[in-house]
Amino acid sequence: MRYLTQAIAGAGGRFKTQAEDFEVEELPAYHPSGEGEHLFVWVEKRGVATPEAAKRLAQALGVPEAPVSWAGLKDAHAVTRQYLCLPAKGAEGAIATARVEGVTLLRWARHGNKLKNGHLEGNRFRLVLREVKDPAAAKASFELLCARGLPNFYGEQRFGGHGDNAEKGRALLLGQLKARHFERKLWLSAFQSALFNRVLDARLDDATWDVPQLGDVLKKHATGGEFVCAEPDVDRPRALAFELSPTGPMYGPSMRASEAKVAALEAQVLADAEVTPADFEKGGAQTQGTRRLLRVPLGEPSFEAQGSEVRLSFTLPSGSYATVVLGELIKG
């Protein structure tokens, strides 16, 4: 995986030496209205993964675990704040006195609709890097990311602890492997993500990742609207202003197709992986496909260095990875 900041020295440093070094706060798409059949609970958790936090909350309230939902999964080795949602009936009466190991219940309110996966605008990150060898290099890399945007790679955690989820996803797609529903969804998505990363890597290599090309599928940052680039000279100033950016493929039959040389690159990545567009039709609902931005902005950025310690804060859209930011600074 290439770095945008390749020309800047790696700053080095250690990360996640303690849970407080990695704080994540969900930016909800909406807040509960105060009325309805569902109870939204704003929680802070430490050292607990989201599914485990949901399980512990349900047990503490004496309600079934299955209906508990969330908008996004959050890291276990971190301090994170997010909404968990469960049926208000049976839970609301017990919540004021509930105690949940590793989870603090900060506030709660009713809402008319159930919280579903993806119902969030993004996340706010506060990160601490320790034993940084070159804070000036870290600052230079961070400033470049703020100016140009973050290459929207999927982070390593997308591919599993052993890094082989994408390989398993390819085998599933080709009928060489079988899996349970959850694993199937996870592995197929990992394969799509790996292919996207290869396209982005190639676009970084030829310096077109943030420059609209003829045939690019462009996406507007404000509205999410997509269109195929027919006039690069018209669209490039809008890209410089961060109104829109090129997208890459999450392959599948519902994905909007690119054209011209962009389509040729995306077809070559598939060919190199020895799969075809038709193979993704076999994946069913899990591999319908979409477009993903090749870059995303770092919102509300802040950088502070004290000696060998660096503190960062920024926001990212849902689905983008803070670990990719750290990789650009540390470089191994």
- Specify the pTM: 0.94
Query: Which alpha helices (DSSP H) does 149-259 contain, by range?
Result: 165-173, 181-205, 232-240
pLDDT tens for the chain, 332 residues: list them: 899 999 999 999 999 888 899 999 999 999 999 999 999 999 999 999 999 999 999 999 999 999 999 999 998 889 999 999 999 998 999 999 999 999 999 999 999 999 999 999 999 999 999 999 999 999 999 999 999 999 999 999 899 889 999 999 999 999 999 989 889 999 999 999 999 999 999 999 999 999 999 999 999 999 999 999 999 999 999 999 999 999 999 999 999 999 999 999 999 999 999 999 999 998 888 899 999 999 999 999 999 999 999 999 999 999 999 999 999 999 97
pLDDT on residue 177: 93
279 as an active site residue: the answer is no
Q: Which CATH architecture has domain 30-118?
A: 2-Layer Sandwich (3.30)
Q: Which CATH architecture has domain 150-296?
A: 2-Layer Sandwich (3.30)
Diameter over CA atoms, the chain? 62
- Residue 73's identity, in one-letter code, is L
Output the CA–CA distances (angstroms, integers) from residue 252 to 39, 76, 284, in the order listed: 36, 31, 9
Exposure string over 109-132, b if 16+ CB within 10 A, otherwise e: bebeeebeeebbebbbbbbbbeeb
Catalytic residue, candidates 21, 75, 210, 235: 75
Query: Using an 8 Å Cβ cutoff, are 147 and 31 in contact?
Result: no
Q: How far apart are CA 135 and CA 321, in angstroms?
A: 22
- Residue 174's identity, in one-letter code, is L
